[in-house]
C-alpha cells in the first residue's frame, strides 16, 4: 500500500515537471514570437518616420544625394537599434513575467488558486521586476547620446502613472496640474537655454534655438553679459556682420561696440533688443515674425508625427473614415504648430518687455517720482538671472491652444529635460552624486518597472499614447 502511494506521488510529481516544462517552452515561444513582432513593428515605424522626414528634406538636398538619403532613412542603423530595443524589451518582459510565478510561486493559496488580493499583489511585484530588468537592458541597444532621453521619458511616464494611481486612491485633484508642471518645466528649460546650455543635451539646445529663431551670437552675448558682466566683442561683431541686420539696429550695435571698447561703465548686463532680433527693428513686429517662423518650421515635423501615428495605430479607423482621420490630423498639426509659434513669440516678448522696462526706468531722472518710489535693487531685479525663468513660465498660456488631451503629454515631455538641467546644476554645486556609466540603464529600468506595474494592473492611469504603444507591442501580456 505504501509502495503504491509512493508510485502515485512519483507519477504526479513527474507530471507536474512535464507540465512545467511545457509551460516554460510555451512561454519561450510566446516571448520569441512577440519579440520578433515588436522588433519588426518598431523597425517599420522608425523607417517610415525617417522616410517621411527625408522626403520633406529632399528639396534642400542635391539630387545626387537622394539615393543615399533614402537608403539611410529606410535601412540606417537608427532603425535597427530602435527595433532591437523594442524586440529585446518585449521578449525579456514576456518570458520573465510568465516565468516568475513558476520560479517564485505564491505562498498563500485557496481552493481556486490565489485569492484576488494575493494575486494582485504578487502580480504587481512580478510586473515591476520584469519591467525593471527588461527596460534597463533593452535601452542599451540605443546610442549613448539617446539613452538619457529615452530613460528620462520612461521614468517620467512611470511617475505620471504612479501619481495618477495614488491621486485616485487618495482623492488628490490639482486643477490644470499638467499646465502648471509644463510651465515650471519650461521655466527651467528657458533658464538653461539662455544661461546654462551646458546642462541640456546639445541637440535639444540646437532645436530650441531653431524653434525660437534667435541668432546663435545672441545667446553667446547674453551668457557673457549676464554671468560675467562683460560685452562679448566677437559675438557682437558677428551680430554686426549679419546680412539681415536693420540700419537702426546696426547703429545701436555699433554704438554699443564703441562704448565697450572705450570702457564705459554703464554697459548692459543683458542682451539688448537690437541684439535679440537684429533683423527686425520693432519688438512687436519681431514677435509676430517669430510666430510665423516657428509655425512654418514646426509644420513638417508635426505633419509627420500626426499622419504617421494615424496610419500605424488607427489603420482600421483610417480605412473606415479616411477623410475624417486626415481632417483631424490636419487640425491637430495646425494647432500644435501654432502652439510652438506662440511660445517662441512669447519668449522673445517677455525679454523685450522686461529689458525695455528696465531701460525706461533707468533713463528716468533720479528725482522723478517713479525712481523715488522704486528702489534701485527692485529695478535691478528686472535683469536678474532668475527673470529668465519668466520666459518659460509664459508658455503655460499658449499651451491652452493645444488639445486638452495633450496637456499631460507635453508636460511629461518637458519635465525630463528640466529635471536633467536642474540635476546637473545641483551636481555642479556638489549637491548631487554622479551616476557613472550605468545611470541611464538604471533610470530606464526603474521607470519601466513603474510603467509596467501600472500597465498590468491599472492601465487607465497611464496616458492614452503610452497605453496604445504598449498594447501594440505587448498586447495584454
In a domain, 101, yes or no: yes
- Whether residues 68 and 196 share a domain: the answer is no
Nearest Cα residue to 183 out of 25, 399, 374, 357: 399
Q: Are residues 314 and 370 in the same domain?
A: yes
CA–CA distance, 119 with 109 (Å, rounded to integer): 9
In a domain, 352, yes or no: yes
Residue 238 lies in a domain: no
Is there a single domain that holds both residue 297 and residue 382?
Answer: yes
- Residue pair 448/135 in contact (Cβ under 8 Å)? The answer is yes
Regarding whether 196 and 135 lie in a shared domain, the answer is no
Both 470 and 327 in one domain: the answer is no
Is the same domain home to 84 and 132? Answer: yes
Is the separation of the CB atoms in 157 and 172 below 8 Å? no
Question: Does residue 234 form part of some domain?
Answer: no
| 341 and 470 together in one domain | no
Could you tell me the three cell numbers for 477? 501580456
What pLDDT does residue 435 have? 63
Q: What is the structure's pLDDT at 188?
A: 92
Q: Could you tell me if residue 240 is inside a domain?
A: no
Residue 54 lies in a domain: yes
Predicted pLDDT of residue 122: 47
Overall number of domains in the chain: 2
Angle of CA points 28, 32, 35, to nearest 5°: 135
Distance from chain centroid for Cα 129: 25
- On whether residue 269 sits in a domain, the answer given is no
pLDDT at 112: 39
Give the per-residue pLDDT at 433. Answer: 64
Q: Give 10-residue mean pLDDT values along the chain (477 residues).
A: 48 49 52 79 82 76 76 80 86 80 57 36 71 84 79 84 82 82 91 89 85 85 87 89 89 89 83 88 89 88 79 73 82 90 89 89 83 84 87 84 85 86 79 66 83 82 79 73
8 A C-beta contact, residue 453 and residue 159: no
What is the signed CA dihedral for 121, 125, 131, 132, rounded to 10 degrees? 150
Question: Which residue range(s) make up the domain with 282?
Answer: 181-214+277-432
Question: In this structure, are 290 and 423 located in the same domain?
Answer: yes
- Indicate if 367 and 421 belong to the same structural domain: yes
Burial class (CB in 10 A: 0-12, 13-18, 19+), 259: middle
CA distance to 37, 388, 418, per residue, from 187 (Å): 41, 8, 8
Assess contact for 236 and 212: CB atoms under 8 A. no
pLDDT of residue 313: 66
Under a CB-based contact definition with an 8 Å cutoff, are residues 212 and 294 in contact? Answer: yes
Q: pTM above the 0.75 mark?
A: no
For residue 388, the number of C-alpha atoms closer than 13 Å in the C-beta half-sphere is 19
The answer to whether residue 311 sits within a structural domain is yes
302 and 158 together in one domain:
no
Please tell me whether residues 16 and 120 are part of one structural domain.
yes
Whether 341 and 192 map to the same domain: the answer is: yes
User: What whole-number distance in Å separates Cα of residue 107 and Cα of residue 367?
Assistant: 83
| Residue 187, pLDDT score | 92
Amino acid at each position: 500500500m505504501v509502495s503504491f502511494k509512493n508510485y502515485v506521488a512519483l507519477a504526479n510529481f513527474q507530471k507536474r515537471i512535464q507540465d512545467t516544462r511545457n509551460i516554460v517552452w510555451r512561454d519561450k515561444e510566446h516571448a520569441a514570437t512577440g519579440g520578433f513582432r515588436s522588433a519588426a513593428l518598431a523597425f517599420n515605424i522608425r523607417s517610415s518616420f525617417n522616410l517621411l522626414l527625408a522626403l520633406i528634406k529632399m528639396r534642400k538636398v542635391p539630387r545626387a544625394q537622394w539615393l543615399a538619403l533614402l537608403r539611410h532613412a529606410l535601412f540606417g542603423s537608427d532603425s535597427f537599434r530602435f527595433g532591437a530595443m523594442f524586440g529585446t524589451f518585449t521578449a525579456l518582459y514576456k518570458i520573465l513575467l510568465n516565468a516568475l510565478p513558476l520560479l517564485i510561486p505564491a505562498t498563500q493559496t485557496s481552493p481556486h488558486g490565489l485569492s484576488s488580493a494575493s494575486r494582485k499583489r504578487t502580480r504587481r511585484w512580478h510586473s515591476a521586476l520584469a519591467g525593471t530588468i527588461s527596460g534597463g537592458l533593452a535601452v542599451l541597444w540605443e546610442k549613448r547620446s539617446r539613452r538619457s532621453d529615452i530613460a528620462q521619458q520612461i521614468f517620467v511616464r512611470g511617475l505620471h502613472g504612479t501619481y495618477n494611481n495614488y491621486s485616485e486612491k487618495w482623492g488628490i485633484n490639482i486643477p490644470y496640474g499638467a499646465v502648471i508642471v509644463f510651465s515650471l518645466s519650461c521655466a527651467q528649460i528657458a533658464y538653461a537655454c539662455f544661461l546654462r546650455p551646458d546642462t541640456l543635451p546639445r541637440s535639444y539646445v540646437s532645436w530650441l534655438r531653431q524653434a525660437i529663431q534667435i541668432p546663435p551670437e545672441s545667446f553667446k552675448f547674453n551668457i557673457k553679459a549676464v554671468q560675467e558682466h562683460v560685452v562679448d566683442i566677437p559675438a557682437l561683431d558677428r551680430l554686426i556682420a549679419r546680412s539681415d541686420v536693420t540700419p537702426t539696429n546696426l547703429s545701436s550695435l555699433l554704438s554699443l561696440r564703441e562704448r565697450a571698447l572705450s570702457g564705459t561703465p554703464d554697459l548692459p548686463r543683458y542682451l539688448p533688443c537690437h541684439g535679440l532680433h537684429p533683423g527686425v527693428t520693432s519688438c512687436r513686429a519681431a514677435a509676430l515674425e517669430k510666430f510665423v517662423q516657428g509655425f512654418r518650421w514646426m509644420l513638417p515635423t508635426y505633419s509627420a508625427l500626426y499622419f504617421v501615428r494615424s496610419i500605424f495605430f488607427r489603420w482600421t479607423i483610417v480605412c473606415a473614415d479616411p477623410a475624417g482621420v486626415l481632417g483631424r490630423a490636419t487640425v491637430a498639426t495646425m494647432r500644435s504648430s501654432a502652439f510652438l509659434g506662440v511660445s517662441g513669440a512669447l519668449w522673445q516678448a517677455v525679454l523685450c518687455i522686461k529689458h525695455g522696462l528696465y531701460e525706461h526706468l533707468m533713463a528716468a531722472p533720479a528725482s522723478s517720482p517713479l525712481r523715488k518710489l522704486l528702489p534701485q535693487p527692485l529695478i535691478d531685479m528686472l535683469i536678474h538671472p532668475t527673470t529668465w525663468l519668466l520666459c518659460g513660465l509664459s508658455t503655460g498660456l499658449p499651451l491652452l491652444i493645444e488639445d486638452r488631451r495633450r496637456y499631460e503629454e507635453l508636460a511629461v515631455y518637458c519635465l525630463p529635460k528640466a529635471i536633467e538641467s536642474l540635476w546637473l546644476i545641483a551636481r555642479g554645486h556638489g549637491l548631487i552624486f554622479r551616476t557613472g556609466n550605468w545611470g541611464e540603464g538604471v533610470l530606464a529600468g526603474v521607470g519601466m518597472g513603474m510603467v509596467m506595474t501600472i500597465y498590468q494592473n491599472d492601465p487607465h492611469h497611464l496616458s492614452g499614447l503610452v497605453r496604445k504603444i504598449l498594447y501594440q507591442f505587448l498586447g495584454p501580456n
